[in-house]
Amino acid sequence: MDIATNPEMADAAPTPHEPPVIRREDYTPFAWALPETRLAFDLGVEKTRVTSSLSVEPNPAAEPSPVLRLNGDGITAAQVTVDGAEISDWTMDGPDLLVPLSAGAHVVGIVTEIDPSANSQLMGLYASGGMLCTQCEAEGFRRITFFPDRPDVLSTYTVTMTGPKSLFPVLLSNGNQTGEGQNEDGTHWAEWHDPWPKPSYLFALVAGDLVANTDSFTTMSGREVDLAIYVRDGDLPRTDHAMRSLIKSMEWDEQVFGREYDLDVFNIVAVSDFNMGAMENKGLNVFNTKYVLADADTATDGDFDGVEGVIAHEYFHNWSGNRITCQDWFQLSLKEGFTVLRDQMFSQDMQGEAVKRIEDVRILRGVQFPEDSGPLAHPIRPDSFREISNFYTATIYNKGAEVIRMMRTMCGPEAFRKGTDLYFDRHDGEAATCEDFITAMEDGAGLDLTQFRLWYSQAGTPKVTVTMNYTDGEASLTVHQSVPATPGQAIKKPMPIPLKIALFDPATGTHRGEELLLCNQAEQRFTFDGFAQKPVLSVNRGFSAPVTIAREIEDHELVFLAANDDDAFARYEAMQDLVVRHLTAASSGGLSDEARDAARDAIGTAFGAIITDSALDDSMRGELMMLPSITYLAEQQEVADPSAIHQQREDLKAWLGVRFATELAALHDRVSQLEFSLEKASRGARKVKTQALVYLASGDPESGSKVAARQYDAADNMTDRQGALMVLAGLGTAARTDKLIDFHRRYADNELVVDKWFALQASSLHPKAIEHVKALAEHKDFTLRNPNRVRSLYMAFAANPHAFHAEDGEGYRLIADLIIALDPINPQTAARFVSPLGRWRRIEPKRAALMREQLERIAAVKTLSRDTFEQVSRSLGD
């Protein structure tokens, strides 16, 4: 392989299963620049003809090459021309097309023919319910035409589409529309031009019978931008929230980051068959319908938040990802981590900072922390990969966001804005690196981030131990940090960890101010004077660093913080710590009855204060009432027994439901009086209503079932209806069957709500959840060809620890069977189901052996895709 023209370096002789190893250190610029790309599509569902015209010239920043290497995947060239003349001396190197070129500028033409209807991978150009759409990130464009399909090759695109108007009345691509017309044969055409150079992964095309919700936005410089959200006929009434979210995103990005939109139009298209949540293609965002369609009857409050957050995320990519893209895929967190932080900040401003921060941390702990401690752990800027689609992970996105948030914490909001302004100014129109972003932050914000760069290169979640000593009015904190070994990284260096703390006076319930400690050594000591008695430590306030904290603190001090801490996250964390320390001890079998009762009394004291505190808003109350997940609890143990954790968690939930039955019933009655709206008070009431119902049903299933059935029947919104059905799905009462049948009948024509119906049953606490999943897999509405439907059933099941970890291993077999069946259809989606099995090292020995057995069974499949093989082999590796 010509390393001067292609950075995708390969180890010698990979097996069919094993893609070549691509290494960050081997990057070289592409030998040819492509200032202009022209594409012509003759569209058809079963046959689309693609004619590309590539203007190429030697890249002065690269070593010259006499060969133009163009990536392909599953396509063949029907014709190749150079400067208008057909050539025959082109060759193939595996899937890639090699075109010999003399020095100087040329125009290379290529014709390919593809079948969108056969594209079950949903990468490249594919058919979805009669419409055509594309998904090109990370390497889907090479499934459309031969091209240097890498993020550092930037080109302007002019796209012409021709097709039957009866099938494709709407023809969309990137940029601004520059022409359209009718043909005598019943076809029509449209031309689009994107003036901003972009990599091929941002290319987009949509053709179909669609209707649009339209609006406009006036930018801060006075330009009028036409906005449109395209959906299938019938879905239009459910797009208003998405349009409001888009306009709010555009306003917010101007106000907070100074970023103005740069085209005449901004289009969104909702697609029901989509591997991801959404895609930020320049000027033409393609979305999973899940993140566009919402109204009160079909979408929960969480769905509304999801639409708002994902709309914002993809719009913000216009600058952090599109105007500045990635030099190579090792820099993926450059765009994704930064953009996740931006969408989190936006949602905090829209919904309230305290609750949104807790929600983000819960996701990080539930998904990224387990990833960081397992066989798939990797730095946010990895050194190598085999299949890039496997690196679209919570580490890249969520941990990447936390790392940039730490920079903001260390320098403050104003200096952070100076750093980001400098980054945008320096690298606009470039393919940049994480190092470029860090350097801009150093220069703009006045930080020295030399040691901080370790956050980009070291995998693993730091473990921080905080010990307090108090003597004669002086409180001293000793902070020790360590980063556990991860695959390929046995020894780690200390990293800068910004810890926000406060020391509370237990007599007054107040503190003298929050302080920021920068912990950058393996062990450090900090002293504080002037305390009449030992203070109570509130640490990692606001979750200022993505670390795990071990602190020596008494239960009564955690009860104090749960009731008095003025930092919302720290208050939440105190309640979580109370529960975590009890459940981890109880599930390990080393807890006496006396110790159990004492722990429950402490938890009950804090819980009672939460549900009766009239000064607490319901949104926060709902968060404080939630018990830690089984996944998070398992992470607190070196080797976990999921069944024991589940049993102890359910016992505690039932105990709280019995002890506070009167108060919970009163709380449920109070919040049931509020009328539906999307305002904070009403949303908070619905959150509390569901939490109260969960505890009531745990304490008294028969009575709770009746309350849940009444809530279901009276519901005028999906949040209340789904909350009631979620509780009923886990019970063995007659109301369960009755309401599940009613729910499906009521929403049978709505794909997204039917997804909820599948997921509620797969994630339920019902003892026969496995049998239910098997039956649902045979349901007429289930299909392996729609990623949303697959995830709704099987990902919900894999995230249901009590069922997935069934003692006989049936849950593991079910997921392994799915992976084997799904891999030939959609390997990218199949590969994402491997990680639950890959946690086998952290599970008790009997189950661990059963999990490993299923991984080995998957690995033995001779035709396994590269995506899935990589995940399985890494999960099995020592």
DSSP result, 150-186: STT--EEEEEEEEEETTT-SEEEESSEEEEEEE-TTS
* Alpha carbon distance 408, 338 (integer Å): 11
Residue 16 predicted with pLDDT over 50: no
User: What pLDDT does 7 receive?
Assistant: 30
The overall average pLDDT reported for the chain is 96
Determine, yes or no, domain membership for 689.
no
- Predicted confidence at residue 147, as pLDDT, reads 98
Place of tokens 């959906």: 231
Residue 872 C-alpha from the chain's centroid: 21
* Residues 425 and 473 placed together within one structural domain of the fold: no
Tell me the residue length of the chain: 878
At which residue do the structure tokens 């058919």 appear?
127
Asked if residue 658 has pLDDT above 50, the reply is yes
Region class of 235: left (phi > 0), else alpha (psi between -120 and 50), else beta: alpha
Q: Are residues 242 and 334 in the same domain?
A: no
Q: Please determine, for residue 13, whether its predicted confidence score (pLDDT) is greater than 60.
A: no
Instruction: Mark 75-88 as b/e (b = at least 16 C-beta within 10 Å).
Output: bebeebbbeeeeee
Check pLDDT > 70 for residue 232: yes
CA dist., res. 312 & res. 242, Å (int)? 10
> For residue range 548-596, what is the model confidence (pLDDT) as tens digits?
999 999 999 999 999 999 999 999 999 999 999 999 999 998 899 999 9
- Residues 142-163 have a mean pLDDT of 98
Inside any domain, residue 758: yes
DSSP at 107 = E
Q: Answer yes or no: do 451 and 480 share one domain.
A: no
Domain holding 520: CATH number? 2.60.40.1840
Residues 6+ apart with CB under 8 A from 338: 320, 400, 401, 404, 437
Same domain, 195 and 91: yes
On the question of pLDDT at 9 being above 80, the answer is: no
Give me the active site residues, please. 314
Q: How confident is the model at residue 416 (pLDDT cuts 50, 70, 90)?
A: very high
Please tell me whether residues 546 and 398 are part of one structural domain. Answer: no
In a domain, 738, yes or no: no
Task: Based on the fold, state whether residues 203 and 54 are members of the same structural domain.
Answer: yes
Could you tell me if 364 and 436 lie in one domain?
yes
For residue 365, count other CB atoms closer than 10 A to its CB: 21
Give the three-class secondary structure for 672: coil
User: Is residue 471 located within the same domain as residue 437?
Assistant: no
Q: What is residue 2's predicted lDDT score, i.e. its pLDDT?
A: 32
Q: How far apart are alpha carbons 69 and 31 in whole angstroms?
A: 9
Tokens of residue 234, six digits: 């019938």
Same domain membership, residue 470 and residue 419: no
Examine the pLDDT at 138 and tell me if it is beyond 90: yes
DSSP helix/strand/coil, 252: helix
The stretches of 552-676 forming alpha helices (DSSP H) are 555-564, 568-587, 593-612, 618-625, 630-635, 642-659, 661-671
Structure tokens at 390: 């496997």
- Quick: pLDDT tens for 517-533: 999 999 999 999 999 99
For residues 126 and 274, what is the distance between their CA atoms, to the nearest angstrom?
A: 10
Q: Tokens for 595?
A: 């110790």
Tally the domains of the chain.
5
Matching residue, tokens 């730095």: 379
Q: Are residues 198 and 222 in the same domain?
A: no
pLDDT per residue over 818-837, tens digit each? 999 999 999 999 999 999 99
Q: In a 10 Å sphere around its CB, with 0-12 CB exposed, 13-18 middle and 19+ buried, how is residue 472 labelled?
A: exposed
Q: Are residues 375 and 415 in the same domain?
A: yes
Q: What does the pLDDT look like over 836-857, one tens digit per residue? A: 999 999 999 999 999 999 999 9
- From 240, 269, 287, the end of a domain falls on 287
Say how many C-beta atoms besides its own lie within 10 A of residue 766's C-beta: 19
In a domain, 811, yes or no: yes
Q: Do 865 and 827 sit in the same domain of this protein?
A: yes
Residue 227: inside a domain: yes
**Does residue 436 register a pLDDT over 80?**
yes
How many whole angstroms separate alpha carbon 227 and alpha carbon 250? Answer: 11
pLDDT score, position 878: 58
Q: Considering Cα of 594, then 597, then 603, then 605, what sign does the dihedral take?
A: negative
> Binning pLDDT at 50, 70 and 90, where does residue 20 land?
confident
- With 70 as the cut, is the pLDDT of residue 49 above it? yes
Spatial contact of 190 and 160, defined as CB atoms under 8 Å apart: yes
CB-CB contact of 859 with 873 (8 Å): yes
- The CATH number assigned to the domain holding 242 equals 3.30.2010.30
Report how far apart, in Å, the C-alpha atoms of 64 and of each of 35, 97, 432 are: 17, 18, 22
For residue 661, being part of any structural domain is answered with: no
Q: What is the pLDDT of residue 17?
A: 59
Three-class SS state of 632: helix
If you average pLDDT over residues 484-511, what whole number do you get? Answer: 97
Is 90 exceeded by the pLDDT of residue 486?
A: yes
> Residue 656: inside a domain, yes or no?
no
- pLDDT of 19 reads 73
Domain boundary among 518, 552, 586: 552
279 assigned to some structural domain: yes
Residue 430's CB: how many other CB atoms inside 10 A? 15
For residue 816, the domain's CATH number is: 1.25.50.10
- Stretch 64-93: mean pLDDT, rounded? 98
Sequential DSSP letters for 407-454: HHHHH-HHHHHHHHHHHHHHHTTSEE-HHHHHHHHHHHHT---TGGGH
250 lies in which domain range?
A: 210-287
Last residue of a domain, one of 457, 482, 513: 457
